[in-house]
Structure 1
Amino acid sequence: MTSHARMSDPVRLHGRDAELRATAAVTAAPGTEDAVLVVTGGPGAGRTALLAHAARAFRAGPVLRVRGVRGGTRLPYDGVRAVRSAVDALRPGAPVDVPAEPDAGVLLDLLRETAAGAPLLLCVDDVHLWDDASRAALGLAARRLRAAGPVCLLVTVAEHRAADPHLAGLPVLPLRPLPDAEAGALLDELTGGRTAAPVRAELLHAAEGNPALLHALVRRLSAAELSGQRALPWPLVDAETVRGLVDGGPDGPTAAHPDLLLVVAAAQQADPDGDGVRADPVLDALTRVAPPGEPAVRQVPGVLVPAGDRLRFTGTLLRRAVYLGARPDRRRAAHDALARTAEQYGDRLAELTHRALSVAGPSPLLADGLAAAADDPRVTASHRRRAAALARAAELTTDAAARAERWIAAAGHALLAGRPVTARRLLAEACADAAPDEVRGRATLLHGLLELSDGHVLDAHESLLWARSLLSARCPAQAREARIAAATAAWAAGDMTACRTALTPEPEPAADPDSTPGGDAEGATVAPLTVVSGGGEHLTEDYRLGMLALLEQRYEQAVPPLRRVVERAAGTGEPETLLRSASAALLLGDVSTGCRAGARALAAARARGPVTLVSRALEYLAYAELRAGRHARARAHAEEGLRAAHHCGQRNSAAHHHAVLALAASIEDEAALVAEQAEAALDTARRHGLTQAATLAEWALGRADLGRGRPAEAAARLGPLVRAGTRHGHFAVRMLAMPCHVEAAVLAGRPDEAGPVVEEFALWARFGADPQAPAQLARCRALLAPQDRADALYLRALTLHRAVGGDFEEARTQLLYAKWLRRRRRLREARDQLTEALVAFERCGAGAWAAQARGELRATGAAPAGESPGALSTRLTPQQQRVARHVAEGATNREVARILSVSTRTVDHHLRNVFAALGVRSRVELARMVEQSERPGAPR
């Protein structure tokens, strides 16, 4: 017996807020023109659930619930009699007589007598199953509902019967598929959030926003399948699953024109992108399938939507039900008819795909032709369509090596289509056959790319290095790709040694007489395993040389090849090449070029694909905006990137976006959001070895502590990040966190920890990879310098800031300089610096630092603009106010001393005076008084 996961019943309707408001508006207006609503939707959309929710929420009076009955013999006015039966059940002591042939007036009288002047709600579910006479009576009654008194009417009707003339003119509420975010929330509720990310993405793809189908899929899967410990069944949506969701009887949506519906459904099997199929080829194919003498189709069934020259089903669930519910011989006949029609229209890929689907057994010649067409770059087709065609070609192939090649190629296209679970399933099929080195190399390369996207990155590194070895003799282009991908994995893991190993060239392999020089094996079906390495051999080699020189600290030698990478991408529209350019620009410290290249890569990935590059492009763009100090833009890009990563099952990319969101929130004084996003990043980073994402997340937490005036906590968190060695922070990100650590260590009274860090940071600043680094270095030196040199270093730092821009970093330097000035009683100069810093912090949304600047302004004796002196300010000196506020926040005297850069004895002295001035005897009383004084609207 299979152990299945428990599925909880949802407590709310996900993604139906607008629909719930619409039904609530109806039930809140009994007896008015607004008290009627017709809800439409396809199978599984949630019509019944919405009606049930409205009935439960109705508290003003009784509720009559009536459902249409499927099948059986319908007598005129059976629907009206069903309403009478509901009334009898509600009030058994007072039965109401209904004539043998009731009309709309009788139905209105029935509702009026039942309501008896009090609000009444009538819910009619599946009214399309009522007889014609009852629907006509209900439609007329709905238009005259005010005559029945305070009555509300909610009706549901199947989408394919929404144009019922009896209901014409009534307000209609269509139920659309759930958006991805809401479908994901429903899935998380059903499974308790225990679904592995790739499985979650596959389930959301399969359900396509249909809540009932999502329920059915979760019920079908075991806990091991949901967690990713066991492979998903294939096909994920089978005939049994859809049979329980779509009525196949004479009243069902697929009852009319079954041949036409089957041909349309079969046509979309060869083109699964969901945009419908061309109508003319379908109608031509129908003439080959329909029995002789059958009348031509004169009206398109309600389950099909004509859009220009195309036809599509109103919902994918209906299409699946039609296709999976047909006998295999009828499906094959439909595909055969479509193949002959596609041949007439000159669509080679469609013709071969349909022929492949029309045969029941192996067909090597047909498989060869289909694989060649799917692999032809001149054929316009999506990655998803190519993957489906290559998978079918593999099923028809008898030669083991060729079959493995086709499974791998199909898996590569599935990966680029954002379907990692499908890619892993296809790859498992490929590994079942024995194959030569280059075939195994491609499979290993694909496996490494899957791990790089959603697995442990050091495992990905090893797979990719092995793939490079297997591919180097006969497939040098893919070997180079594997090398760069291995370096990317090692970079994400923060393993500098592994990164250098991947980038160091191996000895050239002996020439293979059967290989094609400078390319891959001729005639092979090659999987399109692109990893941001586009632009050709020269660009890839330049990138390798530049990165290797950078890792070996040969900074001068790193610049020329990386600059060539940036320049070569200037005129291209290839997203892979543009992403490589963005990466090189950021390595060079050319943040503005990195932003432009990232934006162009994003536009190209959206327009041309593959879809998997959208999240990667947003990674580069969010990171570049973060480096440029544009935190709001970084946040917007990371939020979009997070959605794209979840959509494609890219947990490693999602972790990076969570880390960027934590960093953006760390300057905005959003402590809860910083903790939430950082923990989300660290949860994946710890399991997948993502040192880069983990370092960014920890940096965000440390910077948030520093912004809230907790330098000791910040120094403790940031210290491990900036120490050299593989067990600490990421070798590149640690440089960016160093200025924060120096500031925290000095403010915490531990300047000895900062000295070595400053000297290492000086090497980084000289390289020029970070425009802000020279100014930050001057600031760090000022923090550590003796009094006679600090003033000049602060002024130099401000001059350097103004040369490169960046409000946030300049304002931080001004804040630190102002603190230094205030301690030396240069209050006017301190106020000038603080006023400018406060404006800059507010401009870039740095709430925590703005609060620090306001506190410092108060300490100089000046209230910030727009702020009136409060109760504390009339009784305490500025320094006493600062001590009182920090103590009220829970800081100890020693911690307050570190924050204010004074001795503990000074804090003790000020605190005694605060207690005496305010008349309090404990820290609890002080905290309460501070809170009351600073509460909005408190007496001034």
Structure 2
Amino acid sequence: MPGVTPPTTVHRPLRLYGRSGELAVLDTLLTRLRRGDGGALALTAPPGTGRTALLDHAVAAHRSRGPVLHTVAAPAERWVPHSGVHALLCGAPDVGAAGASGRGPIEGAGDGVSRDAPGPGDLDHVLRDGLPPVALLGLLRRLGAERPLLVCVDDADLWDPDSRAALVFAARRLGPGSRVAVLIGSGDEGAVAGLPALRLGPLDDDAAAALLDRLTGCGADADRGDPVVRAELVREAGGNPRLLTDLTARLTPDQLAGRTPLPHPLPGADDVLAAHAARLGHLPAATRTLLLIAAAAHEHEAEGAGADLALVCRAAASAAASDVAPVHRAAASAAVSDLAPHSPGATAGALQLVGDRVHFREPLMRRALLHRAPPHRRRAVHDLLAGLLGPGFASLVQRACAAAGPDALLAGALEAAAVDRPHAERAAALARAAALTPDEAARAARYTAAAEQTRLAGDPGRARALLARAGTRPGHPAAHHVRGLLVLGDGPAPDAHEILLDAARLLAPRDPGRARDALLGAAEAAWAAGDALGYLDALTRIPAAAAGPGLAHYRDGMCAVLRGRLGEGHALLRRCLASATRSHDPETLLRAGAAGLVLGDLDATCRAGARALAAVRASGADALLPQALEHLAYAELRAGRHARARAHALDGLRAARRTGRPNAAAPLHAVLALAASVESGTRECAAHADAALAGAAPHGLVQATTLATWAQARADLAAGRPAEAAARLEPLVGPGPRRGHFATRMLAVPCYVEASVLSGRRAVRGGGADPVAEAVAEFAVWASRTTDPQVPAQLARCRALLAPAGEVAGRYGEALAHHGRAGGDFEQARTRLLFGSWLRRRRRTREAREPLRDALVGFERCGAAAWAARAGGELRAAGEAVEAPGPSGSAAPLAALTPQQQRIARCVAEGATNREVALRLSVSTRTVDHHLRNVFAALGVRSRTELAGLLRTGPEDPYGPPGLQDRDEKEAAHP
């Protein structure tokens, strides 16, 4: 007989996505069990959420360490008394031996402890006469006496009541020293009341996406399929892993890849929805009718709003007197009374009452009730609700749900009634109207309108799914407009620009208003991409007839400014800003804020930004919320209010994530990086700048890239690294392909000039041109175009940095005079810091102390900690006693050093070379050499490594920064 080759496949347990917290709880329970301490835990969750997988994990983890009693309830036996305990004890150890020895029945009297393991006769006794709870407790303790015992019961809510009561009784009394742990899985929290419970919630989006990757065979670097399909699957599954698995399994490879349309509704939900509905099958007919009415009453409400209790009660009372359900009025009234506050309830825990609103504890339960109800009964309930609601939007929604097929009149009435509804409700109504529309073109138009409203409501994934139903035929150019706006939110900005231009061309003959909006979207995309010509092109295509006065002022003013006609442009932008004070339209106010930034009127810009934010929140257009918060945060930042800017940017970042707009997240990270470059220092600034650059690079967001790079350079300056700052900024402010954004690059010029001068980085290009002087000349031209009050002071500061020695003091005096008129602690403190540092380098230390002291106070007043540390170091070097900041434990070794020696010691301990220290402190290398010899002698160290270890520059590495030990040994031994 030929040999049989055993299988070589290694079966690994499935990964449980998004359940790390639950796994940790189970592992803790099992660890305590192995140490001899028992306990009990109930896992409560609706079907499909992974409860069984968690219980199987616990069983597999314990099986090699001790005995396991594991059973799953059989719903068909739920009315057989004691059938659950019988099924559980069938898996008890030594059943066969017990049967052979003819051991007696399990005892329930006396001490209540079984003398031996159960045999077949014992199990017959259990099924016939039952097992008292005390006897079950004793039996479990007996079985766990030698080795720790794990008892695991799944679907305990489907056990017979006697078995469930006995098991819960026993589980409550198992604790330290019992050597028995009980895990109970239940779909109903009430079935395991009194036990410690862990409720499984739905998977979050990240866990669902990871599970979807495994289901579709996508690795970390593989093509993850069509994003629209993925978003629709995750949304439809609602965090239920089994439902996500079933939905994915029913789609073809072409559907998953987006090559063929998705079916609607998605197939594969039947099993999970049937499991949810089955949990209610034992309820009385009146209660099931009540639940169906409550589920149907949610249909005309906003998502998450619940159903009106009064309407549900009226409908249940009417159902008892109609043909909706063959139940008596008294039975229906009794079921309705269970919804009263503080009532124990007879609806199996499916409903909860919040004020006067009825909610389903599990959204899938509501879907299951509507999905599994017979069509004629479900339509009867919807018709009943429509009659009770009377004329209006809600009644039309219920009539649409009751429709058995297309109905053009009903679709038109529903679309008309939804005009004034919030975006999300209007989108749902338009989608229903589209489903009822027999004409293909009208149906596509309504799906497109639904997609547009869904995008405004902040759900781009759902918007794309609705757009896919509309199709992409040339006869529906509005779909191209919506698609372009979606790409503008989370795709490459140049792509969005081209799509929106194409949409405007197609829409112009039939819908001038929508064509205008498409052109404004194309202009926004070009602005984000740093494409000045594309921005001008999009604006100039807007015809005067479609613009209106406010938009016309904005269009003509921006075009005039970009073409160099400053007087004309500024006058038009001021009219745009003034006219917006009477508007409540969010987009009009956002454009007014942009006009204010170009003008440099920062106070007016902040006011317009605050009004735009209020208008967005009032309108419910969540898609505009990240943009409104970004505009306001940036305006506050330009005005020097860094704390406010940070608060608004953090709100905007949360809104961008919630509404699926990563292109809005990148500039918000850049604003946070700029705020951190003032307040928090290098580490936080680097984190936000890296996030901004990571999001901006693949989508061509040049403005976000420019702001993030400027933030990094400003943090470098605060930390005393001018060479690094100059290297970052030179490509942005100079000519070439890496040039920064046309509207924001000039803001970085003062930092570039400061960094270049302090680092000595003023390389002359071919032809003898000085790039720093060229940047200052361009900045002077830009300064003449703006009314930003800080710019004249910054220009004077730049000229002071480049001026001959005899003119420097006068230039700084001019800059400080401008600061006095403009206000702003941070920029004024920076000018005082540079002036004081220049005086100190000229050995005018007594004169240097006053501007340095004022700079320190100014930085402290605006919360610029890193800059205050730099000013404090300069002030100490000028001979004034200032408390030196630094890590704990470093003050004592430095106490014996002079202020200048302390600064040099800290820089060297951070890993800087002598040349880098000289550049950072604005002294010569010879001076650093001299002081460092004295530092080594005073502290008794022989190398830079020993100095770093003495000062303990960082908690991660007590011997100093990485790479310090690799310094040139000659420099370390002979500083």
Pair 1:549–1:874, CA change in 2 (3 A): same
Q: State which of 153, 157, 162 in structure 2 corresponds to 1:133.
A: 162
Pair 1:320–1:245, CA change in 2 (3 A): closer
Q: State which of 272, 296, 303 in structure 2 corresponds to 1:273.
A: 303
d(CA) in 2 for partners of 1:875, 1:147: 60
Q: State which of 236, 241, 244 in structure 1 corresponds to 2:269.
A: 241
Pair 1:168–1:392, CA change in 2 (3 A): closer
Normalised to the residue count of structure 1, the TM-score between the two structures is: 0.82
Do structure 1's residue 290 and structure 2's residue 315 form an aligned pair? no
Q: What does 1:414-493 correspond to in 2, within 5 Å?
A: 414-433=454-473, 435=475, 439-440=476-477, 442-493=478-529
8 Å CA contact 2:380–2:402 kept in 1: the answer is yes
8 Å CA contact 2:382–2:402 kept in 1: the answer is no
Match of 1:524 in 2: none
d(CA) in 2 for partners of 1:223, 1:754: 58
d(CA) in 2 for partners of 1:254, 1:493: 61
Match of 2:701 in 1: 690
d(CA) in 2 for partners of 1:764, 1:91: 94
Match of 1:528 in 2: none
- CA apart distance, 1:715: 1.0
- SS of corresponding position for 2:776: helix
Gaps of 5+ in 2: 1-11, 99-114, 336-345, 763-769, 960-975
Match of 1:624 in 2: 635
Pair 1:388–1:333, CA change in 2 (3 A): farther
Q: State which of 46, 50, 66 in structure 2 corresponds to 1:42.
A: 46
Of 17-26 and 72-81, more deviation after overlay is shown by 17-26
Match of 2:109 in 1: none
8 Å CA contact 1:77–1:134 kept in 2: the answer is yes
- SS of corresponding position for 1:312: strand
d(CA) in 2 for partners of 1:668, 1:827: 28
8 Å CA contact 2:69–2:89 kept in 1: the answer is no
Do structure 1's residue 9 and structure 2's residue 15 form an aligned pair? yes
Of 642-651 and 261-270, more deviation after overlay is shown by 261-270
8 Å CA contact 1:615–1:642 kept in 2: the answer is yes
Pair 1:245–1:718, CA change in 2 (3 A): farther
8 Å CA contact 1:197–1:650 kept in 2: the answer is no
Which residue identity does 1:240 align to in structure 2? Answer: G
Of 92-101 and 16-25, more deviation after overlay is shown by 16-25
Pair 1:545–1:678, CA change in 2 (3 A): same
8 Å CA contact 2:33–2:179 kept in 1: the answer is no
Gaps of 5+ in 1: 1-5, 509-517, 520-535
- SS of corresponding position for 2:952: helix
Pair 1:787–1:505, CA change in 2 (3 A): same
Normalised to the residue count of structure 2, the TM-score between the two structures is: 0.79
Which residue identity does 2:316 align to in structure 1? Answer: L
- CA apart distance, 1:784: 1.5
Cα root mean square deviation, aligned = 4.4
Match of 2:75 in 1: 71
Do structure 1's residue 409 and structure 2's residue 449 form an aligned pair? yes
Pair 1:561–1:507, CA change in 2 (3 A): closer
- CA apart distance, 1:662: 2.8
Match of 2:622 in 1: 611
Match of 1:714 in 2: 725
- CA apart distance, 1:581: 3.4
Match of 1:513 in 2: none
Match of 1:543 in 2: 554
Which residue identity does 2:662 align to in structure 1? Answer: R
Pair 1:558–1:355, CA change in 2 (3 A): same
d(CA) in 1 for partners of 2:210, 2:229: 14
Match of 1:660 in 2: 671
d(CA) in 2 for partners of 1:904, 1:305: 75
- SS of corresponding position for 2:698: helix
Q: What does 1:21-420 correspond to in 2, within 5 Å?
A: 38-48=42-52, 66-74=70-78, 75-81=80-86, 84=89, 88=93, 95-97=116-118, 100=126, 101-116=130-145, 124-142=153-171, 144-145=173-174, 149=178, 155-158=184-187, 161-164=188-191, 167-168=192-193, 174-177=199-202, 202=232, 205-210=235-240, 213=243, 233-235=262-264, 238-241=266-269, 243-244=271-272, 247=275, 250-251=278-279, 257=285, 260-269=290-299, 271=301, 273-278=303-308, 279-280=312-313, 282-283=315-316, 286=319, 290-292=324-326, 296-297=331-332, 298-299=334-335, 301-302=347-348, 303-326=350-373, 330-331=374-375, 334-335=378-379, 337-339=381-383, 341-359=385-403, 361-374=405-418, 376-377=419-420, 381-420=421-460
Q: Deviations over 1:749-768 (max 9, x none)?
A: 13433222222222333334
- CA apart distance, 1:489: 1.3
Do structure 1's residue 859 and structure 2's residue 877 form an aligned pair? yes
- CA apart distance, 1:492: 0.7
Of 248-257 and 723-732, more deviation after overlay is shown by 248-257
- CA apart distance, 1:607: 4.1
Q: Deviations over 1:209-261 (max 9, x none)?
A: 545555666777799988x865773447x352352476257556797655554
- SS of corresponding position for 1:709: coil
- SS of corresponding position for 1:767: coil
8 Å CA contact 2:75–2:159 kept in 1: the answer is no
d(CA) in 1 for partners of 2:896, 2:508: 79
- CA apart distance, 1:120: 6.9
Do structure 1's residue 757 and structure 2's residue 775 form an aligned pair? yes
Question: Higher relative contact order at CA 8 Å, sep ≥6: structure 1 or structure 2?
Answer: 1
Q: What does 1:776-795 correspond to in 2, within 5 Å?
A: 776-795=794-813
Q: State which of 874, 878, 900 in structure 1 corresponds to 2:921.
A: 900
- CA apart distance, 1:46: 4.9
8 Å CA contact 2:609–2:632 kept in 1: the answer is yes
- CA apart distance, 1:483: 2.7
- CA apart distance, 1:273: 1.7
- Give the total of aligned pairs: 889
Match of 1:530 in 2: none
d(CA) in 2 for partners of 1:920, 1:85: 76
d(CA) in 2 for partners of 1:125, 1:284: 38
d(CA) in 1 for partners of 2:469, 2:750: 51
Q: What fraction of aligned residue pairs are identical, expressed as a percent?
A: 49
Match of 1:646 in 2: 657
Pair 1:855–1:272, CA change in 2 (3 A): same
Of 292-301 and 585-594, more deviation after overlay is shown by 292-301
d(CA) in 2 for partners of 1:691, 1:537: 30
Pair 1:561–1:89, CA change in 2 (3 A): farther
8 Å CA contact 2:47–2:276 kept in 1: the answer is no
- CA apart distance, 1:699: 1.8
Pair 1:405–1:851, CA change in 2 (3 A): same
Pair 1:334–1:286, CA change in 2 (3 A): farther
- CA apart distance, 1:717: 1.1
Match of 1:526 in 2: none
- CA apart distance, 1:811: 2.9
8 Å CA contact 1:748–1:898 kept in 2: the answer is yes
Pair 1:506–1:588, CA change in 2 (3 A): closer
8 Å CA contact 1:14–1:182 kept in 2: the answer is no
d(CA) in 1 for partners of 2:367, 2:642: 45
8 Å CA contact 2:406–2:438 kept in 1: the answer is yes
Of 45-54 and 305-314, more deviation after overlay is shown by 45-54
Do structure 1's residue 583 and structure 2's residue 623 form an aligned pair? no
8 Å CA contact 1:263–1:286 kept in 2: the answer is no
Pair 1:182–1:807, CA change in 2 (3 A): farther
- CA apart distance, 1:698: 1.9
Pair 1:624–1:809, CA change in 2 (3 A): same
Pair 1:199–1:617, CA change in 2 (3 A): farther
- SS of corresponding position for 2:499: helix
- SS of corresponding position for 1:163: helix
Match of 1:811 in 2: 829
- CA apart distance, 1:547: 2.0
Which residue identity does 2:648 align to in structure 1? Answer: H
